[in-house]
């Protein structure tokens, strides 16, 4: 069997990573595909995710805090390094399940995944080249032009750090009006529209900074479009699968491992 394809889900705290991983795993199952859900957050308190492989089996944030007398942030940093030491055990647990797709939920705060050397070591050891990263855009931030640009830059930073294919996903579209959604879609496709919105938002824009940032955004190219989804309403999950599959398989569809559930 080929190495499974692994998707890491990242984005700002509360962007909807854990909820999306669960919704997407359920959609995959109903479509007849097997996935392995992995929790990489040692401090996760979510009961909804139900991961098949859970890093908390090896490293628990509360224990790291107690043992080393650290606060939650210090403990997360220490825990990331401890997880890197356990990565071969984690990989073995994933490999034993032999599924085509591995979905990895990462710690709540994006910087823990994006800026720790340990994360790169973990990604290399778990999945090597058969990896991609889904960067989730929270509408609470993405709704304003400056928030949107900040998320694009953050996504580009993650891409720069990991050098892996990125899928940008807008979550929680159920909280947006149709007009807001259409506007975000235009911003994601047309830098000129976004530039215009940014300069409109701020009465005295720092023109030079905005112009330089836009040049960077255009040339690194994270404006490849934004997949819209709502985990609550179950929308955008099939489109996400198709985009992810294009990256992994060059477009070929997986063979369902069991009969899809009828709608
Ligand atoms: N309305 C709505 N809320 C959502 C959706 N997805 C997640 N949420 C809520 O957003 C909050 C953060 O979600 P969570 O998955 O824990 O985010 P994470 O920190 O990125 O893992 C929770 O209160 C979720 O219930 C969605 O599609 N629609
Ligand atoms: Mg989470």
- Residues in the chain, how many? 263
Return the best residue to mutate from 9, 14, 112 for the ligand 1 pocket (most ligand atoms within 8 A of CB): 14
Closest Cα to atom 8 of ligand 1: 16
What pLDDT, on a 0 to 100 scale, did the predictor assign at position 227? 95
* pLDDT tens for each residue of 131-154: 999 999 999 999 999 899 899 989
What pLDDT, on a 0 to 100 scale, did the predictor assign at position 63? 96
Predicted confidence (pLDDT) at residue 256 exceeds the cutoff of 70: no
Ligand 1 contacts CB of residue 19 (under 6 A): yes
Share of the chain above pLDDT 70, in %: 90
What sign results for the dihedral spanned by CA atoms 254, 18, 108, 85?
negative
Ligand 1 contacts CB of residue 89 (under 6 A): no
List the domains of the chain with CATH numbers.
5-175+225-249 (3.40.50.300)
- Kindly give, in sequence order, each residue whose CB lies less than 8 Å from that of residue 218, ignoring residues fewer than 6 positions away: 191
What pLDDT, on a 0 to 100 scale, did the predictor assign at position 257? 63
State the average pLDDT over residues 88-97: 96
State the average pLDDT over residues 189-201: 86
User: Per DSSP, what are the bridge partners of residue 137?
Assistant: 170
Ligand 1 centre distance from Cα of residue 48 (Å): 11
Ligand 1 contacts CB of residue 12 (under 6 A): no
Predicted confidence (pLDDT) at residue 31 exceeds the cutoff of 70: yes
Ligand 1 contacts CB of residue 231 (under 6 A): yes
pTM recorded for the entire structure: 0.92
Predicted confidence (pLDDT) at residue 105 exceeds the cutoff of 90: yes
What is the C-alpha separation between 130 and 135, in angstroms, rounded?
17
- Kindly give, in sequence order, each residue whose CB lies less than 8 Å from that of residue 155, ignoring residues fewer than 6 positions away: 135, 137, 166, 168, 222
Ligand 1 contacts CB of residue 85 (under 6 A): no
State the average pLDDT over residues 69-96: 94
Joined together, the tokens standing for residue 246 give: 């294009």
Ligand 1 centre distance from Cα of residue 139 (Å): 11
Between 47-61, 66-80, 83-97, 244-258, the lowest mean confidence (pLDDT) is in 244-258
């Amino acid at each position: 069997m080929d190495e499974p394809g692994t998707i890491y889900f990242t984005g700002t705290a509360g962007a909807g990573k854990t909820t999306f991983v669960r919704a997407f795993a359920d959609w995959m199952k109903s479509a007849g595909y097997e996935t392995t859900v992995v929790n990489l957050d040692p401090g996760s308190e979510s009961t909804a995710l139900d991961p098949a492989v859970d890093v908390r089996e090896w490293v628990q944030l509360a224990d790291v805090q107690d043992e080393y007398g650290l606060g939650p942030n210090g403990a997360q940093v220490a825990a990331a390094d401890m997880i890197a030491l356990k990565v071969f055990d984690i990989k073995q647990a994933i490999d034993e399940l032999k599924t085509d797709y591995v979905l990895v939920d990462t710690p709540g705060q994006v910087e823990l995944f994006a800026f720790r050397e340990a994360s790169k070591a973990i990604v290399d050891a778990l999945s090597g080249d058969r990896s991609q990263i889904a960067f989730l855009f929270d509408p609470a931030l993405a709704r304003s032009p400056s928030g949107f640009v900040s998320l694009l830059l953050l996504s580009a930073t993650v891409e720069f750090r990991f050098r892996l294919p990125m899928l940008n996903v807008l979550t929680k579209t159920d909280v947006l009006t149709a007009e807001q959604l259409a506007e975000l879609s235009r911003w994601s496709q047309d830098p000129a529209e976004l530039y215009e919105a940014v300069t409109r938002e701020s009465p005295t824009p720092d023109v030079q900074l905005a112009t330089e940032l836009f040049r960077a955004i255009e040339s690194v190219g994270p404006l490849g479009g934004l997949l819209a989804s709502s985990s609550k309403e179950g929308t955008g999950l099939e489109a996400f699968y198709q985009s992810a599959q294009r990256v992994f398989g060059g477009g070929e569809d997986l063979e369902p491992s069991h009969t899809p559930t009828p709608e």
